[in-house]
């Protein structure tokens, strides 16, 4: 039997005016954090050609830097999600943004491979709270029926960031050198961290939130009737839904990591695009992905409001279709000789992947209660990045050995399509919704 969560009503001052639809303005902080976060990750791809030329690095070295980040980022997810649920999104987000900005800026001081590995590892640790904290903010500020669309908004930062990064960072590269890229991003991040800490508050503490909107936010917030053992952090791993989220997100992150690390190099070396033109051309797939991700979130929201369709089922159905479509399209890209057509196909594939990432990050709020959203999201992200970490390293090794990116595209497409299997077979019900919890068989 589910019981309603008792929440205090926000204080309404006679002097301070409330802000209409404040929850959507609050979401802007998560969006900005995502944009800066992914600009930091994309920086290595923009700087790579000059780093290879000046420091005698190889494509395998660049791939290794991407893999080190992903592995450290993956393992850091586990404590990050737990800390967010314990300490709250405000404190953890501020600390994370400030520290990842410093870690990014340190790259400008590097000249040896071990230094770059150290700095990318630090970035992996400090960026770990980003997505789980955004999921926590969404769970606190939005009713369940709006979370898919809200998640699509903040998750679009992972597409706007890589879209904005190439033209801006390429201009900085050409004008001031590759080191200036990392200094610029470090300064931007520190400003964002300060702004977030000063202005962000939870719904219960925000003085500009109206009683009407507070009631809407709390409309369907309930605590699921789960036993203390099932509610513990370690016991989450007993449920097949958790393993389904991890496996599905692994398939998504594998292909996403490939493009984050190697798309500019692929365009320059396989397609003959100049460094200057790469700055704009590499942005196109991410711009399309950002828009399609938002559209996907809107479709899921509308679909979930149909009679007899749960929010979880709506997300699962859309994700299955998007995973199959993205897998087929990614496999086709290297076999299309025309640059324009290949970019169109790649952009649509990226859009399908963007729909999957936003839906995946909205799923934890459908599977567990609000208290464990960040923890489950972090576990999912751990699974995605632990396995997906191999993607850039393998792609770099293959490119150095064969001079081709085609095998990496085909492998990535197959893995992306396999996400459908995980979501169809394992992610079918919320934890605690069945009489007997679904447990992974030994």
pLDDT surpassing 60 at residue 266? yes
Burial 372-394 (b: 16+ CB within 10 A, else e): bbbbbbbbbbbbbbbbbbbbbbb
pTM above 0.75, yes or no: no
Angle at 168 between CA 166 and CA 172, to 5 degrees: 110
Distance CA 129, CA 299 (A): 28
pLDDT surpassing 60 at residue 227? no
SS (H, E, C) 282-319: CHHHHHHHHHHHHHHHHHHHHHHCCCCCCHHHHHHHHH
Q: Residue 289: exposed, middle, or buried by beta-carbon count in 10 A (0-12, 13-18, 19+)?
A: buried
Burial 298-335 (b: 16+ CB within 10 A, else e): ebbbebbeeeeeebbbbbbbbbbebbbbbbbbbbbbbe
User: Under DSSP, is residue 60 helix (H, G, I), strand (E, B) or coil?
Assistant: helix
Q: Are 25 and 188 in contact (CB under 8 A)?
A: no
Residues 6+ apart with CB under 8 A from 75: 382, 386
Return the CATH fold of 22-220+228-426. Growth Hormone; Chain: A; (1.20.1250)
Q: List pLDDT tens digits, range 110-147.
A: 889 999 999 999 999 999 888 888 888 888 888 877 87
Percent of residues, the chain, with pLDDT higher than 90: 32
pLDDT surpassing 50 at residue 384? yes
Q: Give the distance from CA 311 to its chain's centroid.
A: 20
């Amino acid at each position: 039997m589910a019981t309603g969560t008792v929440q205090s009503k926000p204080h309404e001052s006679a002097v301070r005016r409330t802000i209409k639809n404040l929850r959507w303005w609050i979401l802007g902080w998560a969006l900005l954090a995502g944009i800066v976060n992914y600009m930091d990750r994309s920086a290595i791809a923009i700087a790579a050609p000059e780093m290879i030329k000046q420091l005698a690095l190889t494509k395998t070295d660049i791939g290794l830097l991407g893999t080190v980040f992903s592995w450290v980022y993956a393992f850091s997810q586990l404590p990050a999600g737990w800390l967010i649920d314990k300490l709250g999104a405000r404190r953890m987000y501020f600390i994370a943004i400030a520290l990842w900005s410093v870690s990014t800026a340190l790259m400008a001081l590097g000249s040896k491979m071990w230094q770059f590995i150290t700095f990318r590892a630090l970035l992996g640790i400090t960026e770990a709270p980003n997505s789980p904290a955004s999921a926590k903010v969404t769970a606190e500020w939005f009713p369940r029926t709006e979370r898919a669309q809200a998640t699509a908004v903040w998750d679009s930062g992972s597409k706007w960031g890589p879209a904005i990064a190439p033209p801006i960072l390429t201009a900085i590269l050409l004008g001031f050198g590759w080191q200036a890229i990392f200094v610029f991003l470090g300064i931007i991040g520190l400003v964002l961290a300060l702004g977030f800490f000063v202005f962000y508050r939870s719904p219960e503490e925000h003085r500009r939130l109206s009683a009407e909107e507070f009631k809407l936010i709390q409309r369907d917030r309930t605590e699921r009737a789960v036993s203390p053992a099932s509610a513990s952090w370690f016991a989450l791993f007993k449920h097949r839904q958790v393993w389904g989220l991890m496996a599905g997100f692994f398939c998504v992150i594998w292909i996403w990591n490939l493009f984050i690390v190697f798309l500019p190099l692929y365009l320059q070396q396989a397609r003959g695009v100049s460094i200057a033109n790469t700055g704009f051309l590499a942005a196109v797939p991410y711009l399309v992905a950002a828009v399609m991700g938002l559209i996907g979130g809107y479709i899921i929201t509308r679909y979930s409001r149909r009679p007899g369709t749960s929010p979880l089922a709506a997300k699962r159905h859309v994700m299955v279709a998007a995973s199959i479509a993205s897998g087929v399209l990614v496999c086709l890209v290297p076999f299309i000789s025309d640059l324009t057509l290949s970019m169109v196909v790649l952009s649509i594939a990226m859009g399908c992947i963007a729909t999957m990432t936003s839906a995946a990050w909205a799923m934890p709020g459908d599977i567990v209660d609000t208290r464990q959203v960040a923890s489950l999201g972090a576990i999912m992200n751990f699974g995605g990045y632990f396995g997906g970490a191999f993607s850039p390293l393998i792609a770099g090794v293959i490119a150095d050995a064969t001079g081709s990116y085609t095998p990496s595209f085909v492998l990535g497409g197959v893995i992306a399509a396999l996400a459908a299997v995980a979501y169809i077979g394992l992610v079918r019900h919320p934890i605690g919704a069945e009489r007997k919890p679904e447990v992974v068989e030994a």
